Structure 1
Amino acid sequence: MADSKREIERKYEATDATRLPDLSRVAGVSAVEHLGLSELDAVYYDTEDLRLAADSLTLRRRTGGGDAGWHLKFPVATGIRDEIRAPLSDTLPPELAALIRSRVRDAAVVPVVRLRSARDVHRLTGPDGAPLAEISVDAVRAERLHGGSASTAWTEIEAELADDGDPAFLDAVERRLRKAGVRPSAAPSKLARALAETGPKGKPGGKRPRPHTAGDHVLAYVRDQNAAIVALDPAVRRGLPDSVHRMRVATRRLRSAFRTYRGILDRSVTGPVAEELRWLAAELGVDRDQEVLDERLRTRLDGLPRTLVLGPVRGRLRIWSVARRSGSRRHTVAVLDGSRYLELLGTLDALLADPPLLPAAAAPPGKVLSRAVHKDHRRLARRIAHARELPPGPERDVALHKARKAAKRARYAAEAARPALGKPARKSVKRLKAVQGVLGDHQDSVVAREALRALAVQAHLAGEPSFTWGLLYGQEEETAAARERELPGVWARASRAKIRTAPEG
């Protein structure tokens, strides 16, 4: 079974002649313990076209040292990675294979580099004897296994923070190393260095070209959302906080872009893809919607004085929540493992490789994008006006929910156009987000009231007091009314955030 670890480390250049300075002089260090020399042998795996390395992921099978096994590392920030470990085996463990599936799809994972390291380790400990960090001097020999047969060698120093350590401690270590003439490594990882030094010589891949046309801007946005879906897949599988929500938002942004910018991307091609994205967002929502509702009801309940909580309210809420969420995460993972989802990812890749651009895509972005943004803004205005004309009640609630969806679409349209249209688009995004927030809280209140009524009925039938459920229901009614009173002012501010055509060129 795989487990995970947050790895915080820094790498430094060294030579065979490099010697560690006296690290006992680092602030907070009471002792430096020499742990000795170990021999590590690691084979790194990737697809033939190095898809994992392209996203700064590393997958290896390592023997030697105290953590032999399979290791999969995900970048978190500079010098910070999440390492997923599985026991040593001859083949790639299924739990790690699942975490790279969104990137590798059906491609084979093959050995690409072998690294053999002689590691000399020193442990820094504090006054209480607790470890602060491990400093390793690694003499590395790298051999290319796929895409060539070159080899290379180097020496580096690695400073890895102890579990739950303060990252600021590594700053103190670095100051000491720099005083001794040691400098940070230019390579982010051993694998990256090995691939660079043993691979074909040529110009490294540069940054994405700056967008110039309307089509360039829309495709850049589509590409970013597609990349977000792929990158968030393993986070969803791992159950990381907010990952389902963020993946769902990426699918909605992508679908919205296809609908808003149908004058740039051929709708006959993007339409079926948008429907598949709609399916995926709905599947992801099975768990997310209940999570949001649970949190809302718990927060409401926690805000009540004890004297107003009559009967086994918390227990009933907990049982109700568990029953509704039972199996929801397993369902989400099953969706990600399914062929329909993988086919969708493949379709998106194909669309980006050969985008269905219409003639307007070649035009300068200002007028083309601003027209599309204005169209979605007018659509939102009509929906808000219609909702406000209706009397309070279920019909108005439905109309406000439709306005909320239109607010999302208008906001996403402005987001996609922001690089081309500049400050006006940024202001519009900010104010439309406020409109979406007001309408979203209103809709969450509608859903919460439905749940509270059902819970009150269950409590009544079980002979329990329903007073507290009714009290919470009343609070949600007041919340909805407050959001409706707030809407005109928020919408007026959003309406004033006009987007003008940006200068061309």
Structure 2
Amino acid sequence: MSSKAKLTKLTEIERKFSVPSPSAEPSFDGLTGIARADRDEPVTMEATYYDTADLDLLQHRITLRRRVGGSDEAWHLKLPQAAGSRSEVHAPLSDDLPAELRSLVAAIVRDRELTPLATLHTSRTVTHIVSDEGAIVAEFADDEVVGVDLRTAPDAEIIWHEWEVELIGTTDQDLLERLCRRLTDAGAQPSTYPAKLVHVVGSPPDRSTYADPTVEALARLTDDLVERDRWVRENRPDGVHQMRVTSRRIRSLLRSHPALLELPGGEHLESELRELAATLGVARDAEVLAKRYQQALAALPPELIRGRASERLVANSKAAYTRGLRRAVRALDSERYFQLLDGLDALAGAAADGDFSAAASVAHARHKLRKAAKKARKEPSDVHFHSVRKKAKQLRYVAEAAGRPTLAKRAKAIQTLLGDHQDSVVSRAHLLETADKAAAAGEDTFTYGLLWQRDAQEAEDLEQQLPHALRRLNKVGR
């Protein structure tokens, strides 16, 4: 495969319509804010779509194609986004799929081969919708399509006519609705196919659902983990954090149900999830510190920021995040990680006919939290407060899976409270270490001491709030 392809990302907001043949083109005359509609000459495009043998991409509402012809010939990866829109990633046209594009779907494809699924030959005529200000704000595409399913019917053609309208450089939903009305006025109907590819190969079977809420939660969280994988690879804000949280949710679910751990591979998966969370934690911890110190220093008068505090605390933490992110992505490209995902899928299948008592798991998690809280009351320490946080987090995740939203909300309040407390613990240790390095370099260490004291005060304030949060949780019925 090619390497170092430059990816281009954009958001696609479009609607598709089925059109009876023959049909008259819609008119865009008289639309408020629209000056004219400029029609291009027809172009011919050929697209080859790729997927695994089990249609894993299509199952996740993702399409991958290599398009030749037209103004955007390239490799196209279309990813689901918010309702009514998709994220589209382009890579320069090449014979082989660029590694950077495959990486974005690696958690779905894993080590499976991507092979040609279908071809679409499209004769397209584009009309540019131009605003009163002279900007192209939408495109209307009149498509005559010939599709071939390369796997099941390589000698048969499926022919249809469709229209598309897409916003360009705007998210104006009112404009989109007005344009769509012009299409329906001309006899078109909203397409029942979410993508041209589905018109050719059909919709893949729906994801399996499970009667037991614990098994359903396991399957849903595995899907979430796969989605968050792409967030990390794209370096989205909070992406590392969300993937780490999801891995911990799955691990808490396994640890709270011994019967799941006893299934083949259960204990190994729990261990692998712990390792994954630790790998992601390197980048996440650095990300938290960088944001924390950036905000703390911004709140200080300039005269209180001494020496190289900003560089050592903020810049160095950001650099540590970048290194941690690269390490995380390497782990996500490993065979070990793909085996973890395969194992989670297999575990849900193996547990499909099981009966995992959600009530018993919730009761057990509450008992563990009470024990940890009791110990923290008798022997207050950072270690014991952190233990309470972990038990509250486990209770929250189990309660969510069991359909106990109020209990989950109260447990989350404790988790958040003591999560902030733990952040202050980690920060103070980092401040002391950094201050020692600064002192050794002959720098002023005043700022580090000031921030340390503020963190210590924050921790004390949070500890005072814990009893109230625990009482609120205890009021929730068993």
The alignment's TM-score, normalised by the length of structure 1, stands at 0.89
Residue aligned with 2:433, SS: helix
Partner of 1:354: 350
1:90-143 deviations in Å (ceiling 9; x for gaps): 111111222222222222211111111111101112222111011111111111
CA distance in 2, matches of 1:457, 1:209: 55
CA distance in 2, matches of 1:385, 1:335: 39
Instruction: State which of 66, 69, 74 in structure 1 corresponds to 2:71.
Output: 66
Partner of 2:372: 383
Show the 5 A alignment for 1:145-294: 145-149=150-154, 150-196=156-202, 205=205, 208-209=208-209, 211=211, 216-263=212-259, 266=262, 269-294=265-290
CA contact (8 A) 2:280 2:324 kept: no
1:132-156 deviations in Å (ceiling 9; x for gaps): 0111111111111013333211111
CA distance in 2, matches of 1:353, 1:148: 31
- One-letter code aligned to 1:156: E
| Structure 1 residue 434, shift from structure 2 partner | 0.4
Partner of 1:446: 425
Show the 5 A alignment for 1:323-402: 323-355=319-351, 361-362=354-355, 368-391=357-380, 396-402=381-387
CA distance in 1, matches of 2:452, 2:413: 25
Residue aligned with 2:189, SS: coil
Partner of 2:27: 22
CA distance in 2, matches of 1:16, 1:178: 14
CA distance in 2, matches of 1:209, 1:233: 22
| Structure 1 residue 42, shift from structure 2 partner | 0.4
Matched, 1:296 2:292: yes
CA contact (8 A) 2:386 2:422 kept: yes
1:15-37 deviations in Å (ceiling 9; x for gaps): 33333332132232122111221
CA contact (8 A) 2:18 2:188 kept: yes
CA distance in 2, matches of 1:252, 1:478: 29
- One-letter code aligned to 2:374: A
CA distance in 2, matches of 1:243, 1:319: 20
| Structure 1 residue 378, shift from structure 2 partner | 1.2
Partner of 1:479: 458
CA distance in 2, matches of 1:276, 1:136: 48
Partner of 1:143: 148
| Structure 1 residue 349, shift from structure 2 partner | 2.3
CA contact (8 A) 1:269 1:356 kept: no
Matched, 1:93 2:98: yes
Instruction: State which of 94, 97, 121 in structure 1 corresponds to 2:126.
Output: 121
1:350-376 deviations in Å (ceiling 9; x for gaps): 22232387xxx44xx7xx321210110
CA contact (8 A) 1:30 1:127 kept: yes
Please give the root-mean-square deviation of Cα atoms over the aligned residues, in Å: 2.0
| Structure 1 residue 220, shift from structure 2 partner | 0.5
CA contact (8 A) 2:290 2:315 kept: no
| Structure 1 residue 163, shift from structure 2 partner | 2.8
Residue aligned with 2:41, SS: strand
Partner of 1:39: 44
294-303 or 463-472: which moved more?
463-472
1:52-89 deviations in Å (ceiling 9; x for gaps): 11111101011000111111111112331111111111
CA distance in 2, matches of 1:346, 1:210: 18
- One-letter code aligned to 1:408: K
65-74 or 326-335: which moved more?
326-335
Residue aligned with 2:40, SS: strand
Instruction: State which of 416, 437, 459 in structure 2 corresponds to 1:458.
Output: 437
The alignment's TM-score, normalised by the length of structure 2, stands at 0.93
CA distance in 2, matches of 1:444, 1:383: 19
CA contact (8 A) 1:112 1:147 kept: no
CA distance in 2, matches of 1:43, 1:15: 26
- One-letter code aligned to 2:237: P
| Structure 1 residue 388, shift from structure 2 partner | 2.0
- One-letter code aligned to 2:119: R
| Structure 1 residue 266, shift from structure 2 partner | 2.2
Residue aligned with 1:121, SS: strand
